[in-house]
Chains A and B, each alone.
Chain A
Amino acid sequence: MNDLATYNFAYLDEQTKRMIRRAILKAIAIPGYQVPFASREMPMPYGWGTGGVQVTASILGPEDVLKVIDQGADDTTNAVSIRAFFQKVANVAVTTRTKEATIIQTRHRIPEEKLSEGQTLVYQVPIPEPLRFLEPRETETRKMHALEEYGLMHVKLYEDIARNGHIATTYAYPVKVEGRYVMDPSPTPKFDNPKMHMSEALQLFGAGREKRIYAVPPYTDVVSLDFDDHPFEIQSFDKPCALCGAEDVYLDEVILDDKGGRMFVCSDTDHCEDRRACGHAGHMLARKEAAE
């Protein structure tokens, strides 16, 4: 083990980790409820996942295998930095493979691969309060949660339909957890909302700047809000992934040149690689191979 990991495992001091674990336990006990916690300064700026990092640091053990994704990818700056951070301060094993990971820290996406019991998904959350859009007073939003006054959430959806003809909210789409608390699932695309419902994995949410932790325990009811005549729908894509040919997955647009050339590929890089390794090929890959 290197010095940093032995000096103080996973960067945070033990008292802080205990404080955060208590907040996590409370959050698990009250699914969807935002538990305040004494968020610490982390060696990275707010907006880089300080909430998620603190949660991960508090639940991480030496035997864990960590995966970090940003927009579904393991190889973007944020993901690489956080992964390197934990290698340095906890000396844990890291992976890019969803199946092998015990803890997955994420920003924006839930992996395409179905998560299973024993896995924990840690979300980095910028603004945890779903009611903030229309109600700026924290005292009032807390009261609204306490009294289950959620009419305002539908005002937001109403405005969406009035303006766009359909519910145009595509990410941070509000959900109701276990029939009680309305929760903001962080800036994940609404495409991923159904994956939260009855998930086998534990889902933890950390908001560092806003100092809130909330959770969805395994096998919990998670319902996206909607209207009877405008039911919740996820995005669908016209074409399969250009590289692995996968359908029913979330795709990112990649610009290929300055002449309007573009392709749509899996946002979940591990899932895409996995499929290609198994011999699936999208039209771009097939063309490339044909050219070789």
Chain B
Amino acid sequence: MSTLPLLKVNDVSKFYGSRIGCRNVSFELYAGEVLAIVGESGSGKTTLLSCLSTRLMPTSGIVEYHMRDGQYRDLARMGESERRFLMRTDWGFVHQNPADGLRMTVSAGANVGERLMAVGDRHYGNIRATASDWLERVEIGVDRIDDQPRAFSGGMRQRLQIARNLVTSPRLVFMDEPTGGLDVSVQARLLDLVRGLVHDLGLAAVIVTHDLAVARLLSHRMMVMKDGAVIEQGLTDRVLDDPREPYTQLLVSSILQV
């Protein structure tokens, strides 16, 4: 159990003019921890995710990351070059729509291999072997390595996007509604896969979802957002089994029981 948090979020707010994106969010995330951010559309969860992952600059507040050299760095003050390097090596970002995270016109193998080439891997055979290995891990047949993701189903594309992100062994992965557009049976497979990978690789992850079942299955901790603010947070099963806030109780009681 690491004693220092990987990510320190201190009083982060984001305003779009006078409109609130998210406000006064603070938390710490440790290695191996999966945090789910739940809430309905417009609650500010995606804005918060963007602020954490440097896709948006917070209006105020600080997000610090524990670099591999042991130092904490304020992400907003980091140079663009270093930040982009961090994003494609030590971080992953899984988009809801796989087309936003994949290169649709290059092969599955190149999609997985791109990050390796970006960090200077120059051996075709090794890159291809690593890509094959990752396709297998995300349950895509190795015979599909030269096919473009355009020819893949939604679930396969999403699994490919995950492989593309994990190939550099990141320590932190952001996921924005990773099961969003998928059929229920495809969702179950993906969730199981993500759950296994997070566990095996000891990843820390921040997962934005409106689906409490996804949060239950994948996350250790949960934050419930409403109108841009975190209204309740804690251990995932505590929040779901014993919700305190009126809104959380409403959310939990709205789940369809099968």
Contacts and interface: CB of A to CB of B under 8 A. Distances in A.
The answer on direct contact between A and B (beta carbons under 8 Å) is: yes
Contacts of A230: 124
Contacts of B146: 162-163
Contact of A134 (B84, B106, B118): B106
Nearest to A161: B124
A229 B126 CA distance: 9
A226 B122 CA distance: 8
Contact-size category for A = 10 to 19
Contacts of A149: 84, 118
A228 interface: yes
Secondary structure call for the B interface: helix
B118 A158 contact: no
Interface in A228-242: 228-230
Contacts, number: 56
The 5 closest A-B pairs by CB, nearest first: A151-B118, A154-B117, A227-B124, A151-B117, A147-B81
Interface of B: 80-81, 84, 103, 105-107, 109-110, 113-115, 117-119, 122-125, 127-128, 145-146
B84 A158 contact: no
Interface in A150-169: 151-152, 154-155, 158-159, 161-163
B123 A151 contact: no
Given A134-B103, A162-B146, A151 B80 contact: no
A228 B122 contact: yes
Contacts of B84: 147, 149
Interface of A: 134, 143, 147-149, 151-152, 154-155, 158-159, 161-163, 226-230
17 contacts: A134-B103, A134-B105, A147-B80, A147-B81, A149-B118, A151-B118, A152-B114, A152-B117, A155-B106, A155-B110, A158-B117, A158-B128, A159-B110, A162-B145, A162-B146, A226-B122, A229-B124
A159 B107 contact: yes
Contacts of B105: 134
Nearest to B111: A155
A158 B110 contact: yes
A77 B246 CA distance: 80
Given A159-B106, A159-B110, A154 B122 contact: yes
B110 A162 contact: yes
A230 B122 CA distance: 9
A158 B122 contact: no
A228 B123 contact: yes
B119 A158 contact: no
A155 B109 CA distance: 10
B38 to A, nearest CB: 32
Contact of A162 (B109, B117, B118, B122): B109
B108 to A, nearest CB: 10
B103 A158 contact: no
A155 B117 contact: yes
Nearest to B127: A158
Nearest to A153: B117
Given A228-B124, A229-B125, 15 more contacts: A134-B105, A147-B81, A149-B84, A151-B114, A151-B118, A151-B119, A154-B122, A155-B117, A158-B113, A158-B128, A159-B107, A162-B110, A162-B146, A163-B146, A227-B124
